[in-house]
């Protein structure tokens, strides 16, 4: 078909857009060209995904309901100004030489277009999944028929819609890709775009000036792809052409892989670099750009594959920067965002952030979650705010404003949550989300802070198959950030083995309701038989290891406990950490005997190691029963006695084998940490607690170093078990570390 370089000035052109000849060099203070204004007026846009583009019997083939006028009305009410309606024609057109499109299907498309126009929306239609279904291979293997089929589609569409308002625009093809060399691929795209252009412009009616949308190869934003499309558009010398690219973010962040779990500088710079390239090469030269699809790729597997706060920061910045560069953005929604029948957003917070970003910037923060470890000393928490030109207004809880300098301190952009506030919010001691704070600003969207109490997650053994393998996990309020997988030789296991960090939701997926971690068939499809070590990284900072063994389709999973008799014991996490810290050691047979009563000698060793006392200062003690004191405990007993942390009896003996009561443990811990001041506890069995231990038990209870048993009683005279003591010693270590950090921050 003959290439049309210029068009006559038809009356219909003047009536439709009335635009002057385009200039590809613009001044900074120049008014936007009519086509740029057209694109500006499309902001923001939305995609009717997985509907008319679905491959199957009809628009419901991929799970979405039929489009209704009421849905389009509700969509417009959300604030969108344009709608992109992707259309796949493959199975909806005859295979005869005329390639006639099914009239019933086109009538449904007519309805969706007209309903959208009736709501004042700009409308974009295209040729969608045909790009990979038959054009990708067809342009190389069956060139003439593929081109004829493509031309037939646009010949029919151009004629059908030629008298529609110019608020309806045509996009030649979605995400064009082809077999062949890079040069061949670009040649095929230019050929399709040329055919599309000539058909539309020569079809009469408003099509002579109708805005048309041309994609880069793959709708990618690489420089060579942008350069190729720019050169093509310049040769057209047509003022009503729009360039389009797609943007799904920095890939590792977009799917949560390679350990990129946060909206970091690399992710932010990818937005900047991509949009600068689009602006510098198109917009600044008079060619407007539509980001025809944007979002995060992880949404296809799980809306929460990317952590909520990090997701909101990405959308806030991406929308802001697109608008700063005059790029119109169109959200890809295949049914996972705005309910086609409920007319509700699946993630209201995401929509609220997008809507606020259409009008200006919103403040964010370095995190939206504050993790407080149960039974640990609580200290002040600092959170860096990213104000983005906004001003802090208030910090609220349940609608009530918190008190500055009492509940929190704001110093420039650093918000400090006071330990007293956090203690109050977590006083119930329940694991999981305890409170929701709202940071309010003078404009834009507020930022939510979730106060979460957690304990170290506990993993369980499992057996299953490679189809889906479920690991039992007591998350204990914590949340999984990412997972590594490595073979025994240290090499990376599983898909994308250039990184040890696997793709969230695609290869592994936590289930906080059913307390499982599922490894998917996608993971096992690329895992060799043998042992694989998993490293589970949690948002609290906890890191756990787990071993799976694959043999064909059979899989078993196990934790590697430091001692053989604690794998299923309630104290597993505490004992394992105590062993890691060197506070406890097991028996020669590999056991720990967690329920065995603790002796005074073993208590001295645990406390001495927790306090990091030297183990080799002396082998002599001053007690009358020196001969009965085990050699491994003598050094610690001597030092603790000198520090008046553990005393002997009135007869001068130490009694190393005597069991330690829970009351005695509380008193010794209080002495070791130099806890002072009056305190009061309110256990149901308070009356049975010895008077000499009442205050100390209250002190260690307030600091969550010790607590009651399952029935709520303290049970002061009961013997302390080895498991209880190990767990308490870990809390002592954490308390000392927190106190040291607080002291350092005050210096």
The DSSP code sequence of 168-188 is EEEE--SS---SS-HHHHHHH
Cα gap 674→677, rounded to integer Å: 10
539 touches 481 (CB < 8 A): yes
In a domain, 586, yes or no: yes
- CATH code (residue 421): 2.60.40.10
- Residue tagged 């590809």 (tokens): 24
Surface-to-core class of residue 271, CB atoms within 10 Å of its CB (0-12 exposed, 13-18 middle, 19+ buried): buried
* Same domain flag for 621 and 721: yes
In a domain, 32, yes or no: no
- At residue 631, the pLDDT reads 86
State yes or no: pLDDT of 611 exceeds 80. Answer: yes
In a domain, 38, yes or no: no
In a domain, 565, yes or no: no
pLDDT tier, 682 (very low <50, low <70, confident <90, very high otherwise): confident
* Same domain flag for 435 and 477: no
Q: Which stretch, 24-28, 248-252, 566-570, has highest mean pLDDT?
A: 248-252
Q: What is the pLDDT of residues 23-73, one digit of tens each?
A: 333 333 445 669 999 999 999 999 999 999 999 989 999 999 999 999 999
In a domain, 546, yes or no: yes
Cα gap 29→7, rounded to integer Å: 29
Cα gap 334→184, rounded to integer Å: 32
* Same domain flag for 374 and 353: no
244 touches 283 (CB < 8 A): no
228 touches 221 (CB < 8 A): no
**Tokens in use for 287?**
């060619």
90 touches 137 (CB < 8 A): no
Stated as kind and residue range, the H or E segment containing 381 is strand 381-386
More confident residue, 59 or 19: 59
- Residue tagged 């690399």 (tokens): 266
Q: What is the pLDDT of residues 85-117, one digit of tens each?
A: 999 999 999 988 899 999 999 999 999 999 999
Angstrom distances, CA of residue 474 to CA of 62, 458, 510, 516, 546? 35, 5, 11, 8, 14
- At residue 8, the pLDDT reads 30
E runs forming strands in 284-367: 289-294, 327-331, 364-365
Last residue of a domain, one of 454, 479, 500: 454
**Tokens in use for 313?**
């920061």
- At residue 681, the pLDDT reads 84
In a domain, 2, yes or no: no
DSSP 534-572: EEEEETTS-EEEEEEEEETTEEEEE---SSTT-TTSTTH
Q: What is the pLDDT of residues 386-425, one digit of tens each?
A: 999 999 999 999 999 999 999 999 999 999 999 999 999 9
Nearest to 305 by CA among 64, 513, 510, 515: 510
Strands 122-126 and 458-459: unpaired
503: annotated active-site residue: no
Cα gap 650→629, rounded to integer Å: 17
Surface-to-core class of residue 214, CB atoms within 10 Å of its CB (0-12 exposed, 13-18 middle, 19+ buried): buried
Cα gap 708→323, rounded to integer Å: 57
467: annotated active-site residue: no
Cα gap 575→729, rounded to integer Å: 9
* Same domain flag for 354 and 375: no
E runs forming strands in 295-380: 327-331, 364-365, 369-373
* Same domain flag for 600 and 727: yes
What length does the chain have?
747
State yes or no: pLDDT of 250 exceeds 60. Answer: yes
- Report the number of distinct structural domains present in the chain: 4
* Same domain flag for 495 and 439: no
- At residue 564, the pLDDT reads 80
* Same domain flag for 327 and 183: yes
pLDDT tier, 169 (very low <50, low <70, confident <90, very high otherwise): very high
* Same domain flag for 700 and 729: yes
- At residue 565, the pLDDT reads 86
HEC per residue, 389-455: CCCEEEEEECCEECCECCCEEEECCEEEECHHHHHHHCCCCCCEEEEEEEEEECCCCCEEEEEEEEC
In a domain, 36, yes or no: no
Angstrom distances, CA of residue 52 to CA of 19, 56, 299, 300, 614? 33, 10, 20, 18, 74
Q: Calculate ∠ Cα 347-310-396, nearest 5°.
A: 75
Surface-to-core class of residue 380, CB atoms within 10 Å of its CB (0-12 exposed, 13-18 middle, 19+ buried): middle
State yes or no: pLDDT of 616 exceeds 70. Answer: no
Q: Which stretch, 175-179, 458-462, 741-745, has highest mean pLDDT?
A: 175-179
The SS3 assignment for 747 reads coil
Last residue of a domain, one of 432, 454, 476: 454
Name 448's bridge partners.
438
Q: Terminus-to-terminus CA distance in the chain, angstroms?
A: 79
> What radius of gyration do the chain's Cα atoms show?
34
Count other C-beta atoms under 10 Å from residue 237's C-beta. Answer: 13
Domain enclosing residue 473, as ranges: 458-558
- At residue 691, the pLDDT reads 92
Count other C-beta atoms under 10 Å from residue 747's C-beta. Answer: 4
Q: What is the DSSP letter of 205?
A: G
* Same domain flag for 240 and 139: yes
- At residue 25, the pLDDT reads 33
pLDDT tier, 10 (very low <50, low <70, confident <90, very high otherwise): very low
- CATH code (residue 472): 2.60.40
180-194, 274-288, 310-324, 666-680, range with the lowest pLDDT: 666-680
In degrees to the nearest 10, what's the CA dihedral of 508, 513, 516, 520? -30
Dihedral angle sign, alpha carbons of residues 567, 571, 575, 577 = positive
The SS3 assignment for 700 reads helix
**Tokens in use for 367?**
């995190």
Last residue of a domain, one of 508, 523, 558: 558
Angstrom distances, CA of residue 130 to CA of 99, 100, 155, 156, 172? 14, 15, 16, 16, 11
* Same domain flag for 716 and 579: yes
Surface-to-core class of residue 585, CB atoms within 10 Å of its CB (0-12 exposed, 13-18 middle, 19+ buried): middle
72 touches 112 (CB < 8 A): yes
* Same domain flag for 350 and 221: yes
Q: What's the farthest any 2 CA atoms get from each other in the chain?
A: 116
The SS3 assignment for 64 reads coil
Strands 432-441 and 327-331: unpaired
Which of 59, 119, 136, 293 is catalytic? The answer is 293
* Same domain flag for 740 and 606: yes
Distance of alpha carbon 421 from its chain centroid, rounded? 28
Surface-to-core class of residue 213, CB atoms within 10 Å of its CB (0-12 exposed, 13-18 middle, 19+ buried): buried
- At residue 1, the pLDDT reads 35
17 touches 166 (CB < 8 A): yes
Cα gap 342→360, rounded to integer Å: 28
- Mean of pLDDT values over 167-187: 98
Cα gap 245→411, rounded to integer Å: 42
Nearest to 577 by CA among 611, 602, 551, 610: 610
394 touches 444 (CB < 8 A): no
In a domain, 682, yes or no: yes
Say if residue 44 is preceded by a cis peptide, omega within 30 of 0.
yes
Which of 59, 136, 171, 175 is catalytic? The answer is 175
State yes or no: pLDDT of 208 exceeds 50. Answer: yes
Stated as kind and residue range, the H or E segment containing 139 is helix 136-141
């Amino acid at each position: 078909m003959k290439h049309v370089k210029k068009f006559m000035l038809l009356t219909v052109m003047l009536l439709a857009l009335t635009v002057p000849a385009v200039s590809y060099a613009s001044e900074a203070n120049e008014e936007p060209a009519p086509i740029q204004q057209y694109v500006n007026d499309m902001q923001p846009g939305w995609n009717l995904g997985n509907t008319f583009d679905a491959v199957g019997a009809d628009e419901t083939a991929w799970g979405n309901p039929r489009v209704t006028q009421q849905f389009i009305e509700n969509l417009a009410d959300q604030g969108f100004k344009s709608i992109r309606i992707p259309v796949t024609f493959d199975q909806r057109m005859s295979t005869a030489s005329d390639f006639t499109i099914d009239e019933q299907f086109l009538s449904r498309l007519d309805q969706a277009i007209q309903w959208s126009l009736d709501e004042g929306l700009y409308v974009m239609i295209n040729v969608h999944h045909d790009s990979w279904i038959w054009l990708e291979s067809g342009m190389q293997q069956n060139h003439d028929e593929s081109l004829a089929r493509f031309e037939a589609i646009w010949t029919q569409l151009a004629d059908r819609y030629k008298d529609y308002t110019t608020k309806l625009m045509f996009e030649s093809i979605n995400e064009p890709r082809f077999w062949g060399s890079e040069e061949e691929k670009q040649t095929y795209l230019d050929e399709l775009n040329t055919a599309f252009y000539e058909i539309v412009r020569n079809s009469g009616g408003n099509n002579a000036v109708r805005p048309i949308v041309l994609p880069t190869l793959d709708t990618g934003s690489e420089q060579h792809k942008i350069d190729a499309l720019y050169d093509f558009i310049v040769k057209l010398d047509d003022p009503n052409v729009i360039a389009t690219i797609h943007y799904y973010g920095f890939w590792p962040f977009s799917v949560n892989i390679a350990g990129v779990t946060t909206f970091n500088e690399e992710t932010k710079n990818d937005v900047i670099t991509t949009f600068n390239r689009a602006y510098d090469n198109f917009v600044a030269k008079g060619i407007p750009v539509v980001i025809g699809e944007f979002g995060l790729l992880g949404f296809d597997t799980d809306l929460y594959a990317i952590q909520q706060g990090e997701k909101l920061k990405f959308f806030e910045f991406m929308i802001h920067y697109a608008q700063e560069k005059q790029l119109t953005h169109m959200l890809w929604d295949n049914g996972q965002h705005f309910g086609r029948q409920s007319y509700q957003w699946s993630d209201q917070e995401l929509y609220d952030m997008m809507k606020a970003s259409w009008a200006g910037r919103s403040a964010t923060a370095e995190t939206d979650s504050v993790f407080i470890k149960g039974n640990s000393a609580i200290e002040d928490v600092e959170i860096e705010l990213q104000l983005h030109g906004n001003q802090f207004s208030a910090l609220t809880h349940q609608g009530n404003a918190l008190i500055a300098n009492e509940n929190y301190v704001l110093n420039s952009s650093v918000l400090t949550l006071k330990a007293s506030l956090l203690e109050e919010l977590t006083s119930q001691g329940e694991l999981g989300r305890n409170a929701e704070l709202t940071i309010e600003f003078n404009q834009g969207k507020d930022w939510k802070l979730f106060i979460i109490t957690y304990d170290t997650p506990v993993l369980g053994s499992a057996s299953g198959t490679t189809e889906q393998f479920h690991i039992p996990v007591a998350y204990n309020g914590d949340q999984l950030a990412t997972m590594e997988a490595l073979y025994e030789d240290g090499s990376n296991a599983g898909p994308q083995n250039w990184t040890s960090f696997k793709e969230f939701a695609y290869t592994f997926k936590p289930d906080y309701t059913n307390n499982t971690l599922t490894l998917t068939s996608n993971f096992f499809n690329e895992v060799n038989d043998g042992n694989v070590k998993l490293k589970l990284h949690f948002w609290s900072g906890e890191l756990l290891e787990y071993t799976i063994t694959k043999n064909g389709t059979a899989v078993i999973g196990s934790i590697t406990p430091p001692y053989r008799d604690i794998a299923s014991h309630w104290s597993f996490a505490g004992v394992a950490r105590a062993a890691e810290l060197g506070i406890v050691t097991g028996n020669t047979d590999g056991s720990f005997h967690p329920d065995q009563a603790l002796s005074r000698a073993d208590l001295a060793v645990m406390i001495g190691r927790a306090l990091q006392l030297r183990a080799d200062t002396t082998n002599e003690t001053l007690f009358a029963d020196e001969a009965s004191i085990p050699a491994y405990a003598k050094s610690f007993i001597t030092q603790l006695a000198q520090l008046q942390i553990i005393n002997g009896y009135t007869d001068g003996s130490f009694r190393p084998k005597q069991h330690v009561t829970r009351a005695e443990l509380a008193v010794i811990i209080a002495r070791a940490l130099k806890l002072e001041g009056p305190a009061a506890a309110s256990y149901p069995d308070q009356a049975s607690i010895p008077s000499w231990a009442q205050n100390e038990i209250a002190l260690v209870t307030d600091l969550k170093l010790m607590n009651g048993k399952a029935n709520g009683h303290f049970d002061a005279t009961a013997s302390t078990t080895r498991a209880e003591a190990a767990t308490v010693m870990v809390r002592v270590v954490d308390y000392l570390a927190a106190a040291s950090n607080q002291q350092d921050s005050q210096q």
